[in-house]
Amino acid sequence: MQKKFPLNPGEALGMMGGGQLGRMFAIEAAYMGYHVTVLEPGELPPAAEVSLHHIARPYLSEEGLDALAADTAAVSTEFENVPAQALDRLAQNVFVAPPGSAVAVAQDRNSEKHFIESVAHVPVAPHCRISAQSDIEAVEDSLFPAILKTARLGYDGKGQVLVDSRQDLTRAFESLHKVGCILEKRLKLFKEVSVIVARSVNGQTATFPVCENKHRNGILAVTVMPARVSEAISMQARRYATQIVDALHYVGVLCVEFFVLEDGSLVANEMAPRPHNSGHATIDACWSNQFEQQLRCMTGQPLADTTQHSPAVMLNLLGDIWFDGDKPKQPQWSAVLAIPGVKLHLYGKAQARHARKMGHVTCLGHTIEEALDRAKKVAKILNLPEPQ
């Protein structure tokens, strides 16, 4: 039987997924007096290290799901590829935020693009579905140059191929084993930005300041918060994110990624039904953070103040910095921590691997320029490309 809102401190909350996002949620929950149970296969994932209980079962294990529902008053997710049907099963016995229906939309890029454009009425890039050779033959020439993406399970640049012609598209589709795909026109970009938006059980919404993002090899490398864009662009991005979260009848935290085009217009790229790497600066730079908002949403508490008090630059830390070539090494943490305004967040992962997200550093300042200068010093110490 589901409990009535609000769920007050002392209640047990469930988290589907045991990665770093679940870890940061569990830490935030502990600050506010809640207890967390994590469902995640495998031994001692990052979130389980800081949670009260760990159910080591697959996401679709009926035994595991029923145990999680019995142990908690509400459940959320930290991983967009948790099967939507698992969330639906949980929802039979416990409050789930976000709902499985919203997660299902975000799990398929074709469904996601259709929803954003046709239901939320937010612009997206020209695109088409690719599921067979006949779809390739029907593609309009105006879509090239383009990028072919698998419709499901792609993240951090995986399952994506740049294509300049129909011949390229045929080869790319074959290289992706002819799974369902989406073809998107490549647009001339000015910047990539994202918005973290929260929506409560009663429909209240709140957005954090817009984040400016730079990727390397398909993985987020640097976030500047607030984004260095005009106030008009910033407000439009926040309005669009709110339109999407309202259209989904969403409860929880959602990240919407946007392209800012050279003419200043915005198109939505994709959404993640969870807190997001680009929102990590909120932990140190805002009066509340994305994980506190996630907790407030799922417990029926009022949303928090999202005001930013300090400009920030976030650097993603991949496993590469733990290596000198193939030889393991320990990064120079003392030198990093000697820089004023620097906050280190490591994710408790047992083993560093190349391209694996191991942590992040947030550099704060009185101005964006000061935060960026500190981030450049950190990058030099850790042998990262200089942020711009």
> Any known ligand binding at 93?
no
> Would you state the pLDDT for residue 209?
98
**Distance between CA atoms of 28 and 19, rounded to whole angstroms?**
15
The per-residue pLDDT of the chain, averaged, comes to 96
Q: What percent of the chain has pLDDT over 70?
A: 99
Q: What would the mean pLDDT of 87-105 be, rounded to a whole number? A: 96
The CA-atom distances, in angstroms, between 228 and each of 148, 210, 311, 377, 388 are 29, 9, 11, 20, 11
Over residues 321-343, the pLDDT tens digits come to: 999 988 999 999 999 999 999 99
Q: Which two tokens mark 305?
A: 């103040």
Whether 321 and 384 have beta carbons less than 8 Å apart is answered as: yes
User: Looking at domain 12-96, which of 3.40.47.10, 3.40.640.10, 3.30.70.1150, 3.40.50.20 is its CATH number?
Assistant: 3.40.50.20
pLDDT reading at 143 higher than 60: yes
**Distance between CA atoms of 202 and 345, rounded to whole angstroms?**
33
Whether 278 and 222 have beta carbons less than 8 Å apart is answered as: no
> Any known ligand binding at 185?
yes
> Would you state the pLDDT for residue 1?
57
Whether 347 and 330 have beta carbons less than 8 Å apart is answered as: no
What's the half-sphere exposure (Cβ side, CA atoms, 13 Å) at 33? 6
pLDDT reading at 388 higher than 90: yes
pLDDT reading at 190 higher than 80: yes
Domain 189-382 has CATH 3.30.470.20: yes
> Any known ligand binding at 2?
no
CATH 3.30.1490.20 domain position(s) in the chain: 126-185
CATH for 126-185?
Answer: 3.30.1490.20
pLDDT reading at 3 higher than 80: no
> Would you state the pLDDT for residue 229?
98
Q: What would the mean pLDDT of 305-310 be, rounded to a whole number? A: 98
Over residues 54-67, the pLDDT tens digits come to: 999 999 999 999 99
> Any known ligand binding at 160?
yes
CATH 3.30.470.20 domain position(s) in the chain: 189-382
What burial class does residue 197 get, using C-beta atoms within 10 Å of its C-beta: 0-12 exposed, 13-18 middle, 19+ buried? buried
pLDDT reading at 81 higher than 90: no
> Any known ligand binding at 309?
no
> Would you state the pLDDT for residue 154?
65
> Any known ligand binding at 4?
no
**Distance between CA atoms of 171 and 130, rounded to whole angstroms?**
13
Q: What would the mean pLDDT of 113-122 be, rounded to a whole number? A: 98
**Distance between CA atoms of 364 and 367, rounded to whole angstroms?**
8
> Any known ligand binding at 192?
yes
> Any known ligand binding at 349?
no
* pLDDT greater at residue 350 or residue 169: 169
> Would you state the pLDDT for residue 214?
98
**Distance between CA atoms of 34 and 52, rounded to whole angstroms?**
10
In the DSSP assignment, the letter for residue 286 is B
pTM: 0.96
> Any known ligand binding at 215?
yes
Confidence of residue 150 (pLDDT cuts 50, 70, 90): very high
CATH 3.40.50.20 domain position(s) in the chain: 12-96
Which of 26-30, 32-36, 325-329, 373-377 has the weakest average pLDDT? 325-329
Q: What is the dihedral of CA 91, 97, 98, 104, to 10 degrees?
A: -20
Report the 10 Å Cβ neighbour count for 382.
17
243: helix, strand or coil: helix
Over residues 240-284, the pLDDT tens digits come to: 999 999 999 999 999 999 999 999 999 999 999 999 999 999 999
Angle at alpha carbon of residue 77, lines to 281 and 155, rounded to 5° = 70
> Any known ligand binding at 121?
no
Q: Which of 202, 207, 279, 218 is nearest to 241 (CA)?
A: 207
Q: Give CB contacts under 8 A, 24+ apart, made by 206-209.
A: 206/293, 206/303, 206/304, 206/306, 207/238, 207/241, 207/242, 207/306, 208/279, 208/282, 208/286, 208/290, 208/306, 208/308, 209/234, 209/286, 209/306, 209/308
**Distance between CA atoms of 345 and 58, rounded to whole angstroms?**
28
> Would you state the pLDDT for residue 156?
59
> Any known ligand binding at 149?
yes
> Would you state the pLDDT for residue 349?
95
